[in-house]
Structure 1
């Protein structure tokens, strides 16, 4: 995680978020390996709902399908949630594949 991430403009946070339920083991500089549950994702970042001991400005390294290792920068925390911005934008085709792999399967109705 050497060097700083080149973060995009914060106004881009308005992009579409896709609900997911995906647990990753993140590498944190001070806390070592940290389990994180990603609950939504966009091409610019992700949100977790188990943000104990994390603070704005923290950097983590996670592994996602299609893109492999990618750094996230904590933009905000509230209660037990935290929002992270990726170090770079994800390519549209890679992002679509990530969403397809991480989104929960919709419940099927039986008639």
Structure 2
């Protein structure tokens, strides 16, 4: 029997990524609470730039404004960066206010 995340990795690279500077405390099943720094985010997932010790398939739970707790799976790692895919896609009516809070500089927000 296989253990770990069963990821359906699709090509989501075209999803609009929004640059953010957002520290979070992630809940990791084996390692407990981890301090992570989200550097970009989309409706499908996010990237952290301080992912030492994380591996593909790791599951974390984070808390985002307007979204609340959401689970994500690590789908890639490289150097100190890691990309995570959310367990579900964030709806647009939740995503927009979240970005407005995470990225208060309107010049850095993508055009809608």
TM class, shorter-chain normalised? 0.7 to 0.9
Which runs of no fewer than 5 residues in structure 2 stay unpaired? 108-112
Match of 1:16 in 2: 16
TM-score normalized with structure 1 length: 0.85
Cα RMSD after superposing both structures: 1.9
Match of 1:61 in 2: 61
Runs of 4+ in structure 1 deviating by more than 4 angstroms, as ranges, are: 4-9
Which runs of no fewer than 5 residues in structure 1 stay unpaired? none
CA contact (8 A) 1:6 1:88 kept: no
How far did 1:8 drift? 5.6
Q: Secondary structure at the match of 1:11?
A: coil
TM-score normalized with structure 2 length: 0.85
CA contact (8 A) 1:17 1:41 kept: yes
Q: How many residues align?
A: 104
